[in-house]
Amino acid sequence: MATCPICTMAPASPGYRPFCSRRCADLDLQRWFTGAYRIPLPEDETPPDVDDR
């Protein structure tokens, strides 16, 4: 059985798969919203400029 990727102790619940509860699902969503899940750019690479219209 798979365990929750947030708390890593409880088994995944069918209603909140792959999480064990609504709390862990909400914590994961918060991490997406705050930018915790991102791929860092190398220091010598800058993001492209946005086209100003």
Q: Is 6 left (phi over 0), alpha (psi -120 to 50) or beta?
A: alpha
Structural domain tally of the chain? 1
Bigger pLDDT: 4 vs 38:
4
**Paired tokens of 53:** 């219209």
Bigger pLDDT: 27 vs 43:
27
The predicted pLDDT at position 46 comes to: 66
* pLDDT value at 26 more than 80: yes
Residues 12-30 have a mean pLDDT of 95
**Angstrom distance (rounded) from CA 8 to CA 6:** 6
> Residue 2: inside a domain, yes or no?
yes
> Residue 9: inside a domain, yes or no?
yes
The predicted pLDDT at position 27 comes to: 97
| Structural domain harbouring 10 | 1-35
